[in-house]
Amino acid sequence: MKPIKVGLLGLGTVGTGVVRIVEGHQEDLVRQIGTGVEISRILVNDVTKNRTIAIRPEQLTENVEDILTDPEIDVIVEVMGGLDPTKDYVMRALANGKHIVTANKDLMALCGTEILAQAQAYKRDILYEASVAGGIPIIRTLTEGFSSDRILKIMGIVNGTTNYILSKMSREGAVYAEALREAQELGYAEADPTSDVEGLDAARKMTILSRLGFHVNVELADVSVRGISRVTREDIAYGKTLGYEVKLLGIAERTEEGVSVSVEPTMVRLSHPLASVSGVFNAVYVFGESVGETMFYGPGAGELPTATSIVADLVAVAKNLRLDVNGGQLPPSYQEKRLRTPEQIVSKYFLLLHVADKAGVLARITQIFADHEVSLESVFQHPNAASPHAEIIIITHNAVKAGMQQVLADFERLDVVHEIRSVYRVEG
């Protein structure tokens, strides 16, 4: 049987990894698929550029039409990233009868519903395992491994840059700016790190996971997002003293009232498996109604981990081609979208307040919590010789988000509260 022919859009770090794996694992691919896999054309910006792998000159092209319109190409692997012109290339490729494998989280988070509908209309496969958590097979796990269960909660460390920064602050007591600078020097963070550190990258990934886990058309605008740029080493130190680690978590929950999705720095109980995930590693915790707790851990980025997920999708498409069953994917979102309101979202909270150091302050603070029916698990007053204010650390019991918002609004108006220094959700 003739080999499966592949067009590759992009030959950066991940694209190079795809070529390495496909060319280095041909015997395994033949045994799994029943035929070989051949990367026949590769779209690049400059065909004369020196490469870190051996590429035949005739494989390279600067003209995307050489790939989109080639009748011999069965599958297109997209590792360009971004939306423009990538979305147009993918939509045209589907219309031209190509199957798609992509690692593009932006594309699938922002345009996934439209692209999946296009794929279904043309009876083509589109697989995107590598768009979330690199080498962790979480998308296949949600769609296949949990197909008989009802997922109630997904929590993920899905951005390696922020996890590296927070891990360095926790292990070494580094300040945020110092940890970010080191992440940039090591190549973990971009020169403009906004997408990572402000939670936007994680929000895109949680949009994809929520759609698949809850079968609801969650959009990026539905995700509440807060990044790590205001996390201090004092917050992390206080958290550790009380038995918590600070992590940037994507949190998606489903209840009878609907779904909620957020990305926010979170105090995670040290006994929870997510608390021990350090460095640039990713992890996704999934709670199923029947199976209970599960967690998936591994490298969230990098040439070969990400390329491994891409080639796994490529194998799945090739097997479908052999069986002539492509295009059988159903849209992941088939349930009505109902977003939970602040009155329906419940969690514990950590607060650090700078207050006037005088009698009666604590009573006034606790009365505000009582007024909004927020009960307290623990209250600590911490001396700080470097500050003229007293520091009060509070951990609540489970509280309604709307009630906590009212508490914080009252604190803003209270003369004895000089600063609401930190507020974190608490998990685990």
* 312 and 374 inside one domain: no
Give, as one character, the DSSP assignment of residue 144.
Answer: I
Report, as residue numbers or ranges, the catalytic residues. 205
294, 172 Cβ separation under 8 angstroms: no
The CA-CA-CA angle for residues 95, 100, 104, to 5°, reads 115
Q: How are beta strands 75-78 and 4-9 bridged, if at all?
A: parallel
Pairing, β 75-78 against β 244-255: unpaired
Residue 328 domain flag: no
Per the CB < 8 A criterion, the answer to whether 263 and 144 are in contact is: no
Is residue 195 a part of any domain in this protein?
yes
| pLDDT of 301 | 86
Assigned domain for 110 exists = yes
Identify whether the C-beta of residue 268 lies closer than 8 Å to the C-beta of residue 424: no
CA distance 268 to 426: 6
Nearest to 375 by CA among 414, 346, 355: 346
Same domain assignment for residues 36 and 73: yes
Instruction: Please tell me whether residues 158 and 234 are part of one structural domain.
Output: yes
379 and 363 both lie in a single domain: yes
196 and 282 co-located in one domain: yes
Q: Is residue 333, in this structure, part of any structural domain at all?
A: no
Indicate whether 100 belongs to any domain: yes
User: Contact, 125 vs 321, CB < 8 A?
Assistant: no
How confident is the model at residue 331, as a pLDDT?
Answer: 72
Model-wide pTM > 0.85: yes
Query: Which one of 267, 288, 323 terminates a domain?
Result: 323
Q: Are residues 31 and 94 in the same domain?
A: yes
Rounded to whole angstroms, how far apart are CA atoms 379 and 415?
A: 20
- Residue 285 is inside which H or E element, if any? strand 281-288
In a domain, 187, yes or no: yes
Copy the structure tokens of residue 12.
């950066």
Of 99, 102, 87, the closest CA to residue 125 belongs to 99
Q: In this structure, are 294 and 350 located in the same domain?
A: no
Q: Are 292 and 209 in the same domain?
A: yes
pLDDT of residue 1: 73
Is residue 369, in this structure, part of any structural domain at all? yes
For residue 357, give the DSSP letter.
Answer: -
Q: What is the chain's alpha carbon radius of gyration, rounded to the nearest angstrom? A: 24
Contact 133, 205 (CB under 8 A): yes
Same domain for 274 and 188: yes
Q: Which two tokens stand for residue 190?
A: 């971009």
Q: How many CA atoms lie within 13 A of 88 on its CB side?
A: 4
* Domain ranges, residue 400: 346-427
Q: What is the pLDDT of residue 329?
A: 77
Query: What's the number of domains the chain is made of?
Result: 3
Strand order in the sheet with 75-78: 60-61, 37-43, 4-9, 75-78, 99-102, 126-127
Residues of the chain under the 50 pLDDT cut: none
Would you say the C-alpha torsion 181, 185, 190, 195 has a positive or negative sign?
negative
Helix-then-strand count for the chain, H and E: 14, 17
CA 48, 53, 58, 63 dihedral sign is negative
**CATH number of 53's domain:** 3.40.50.720
| Furthest CA-CA distance within the chain | 84
How far apart are alpha carbons 235 and 38 in whole angstroms?
52
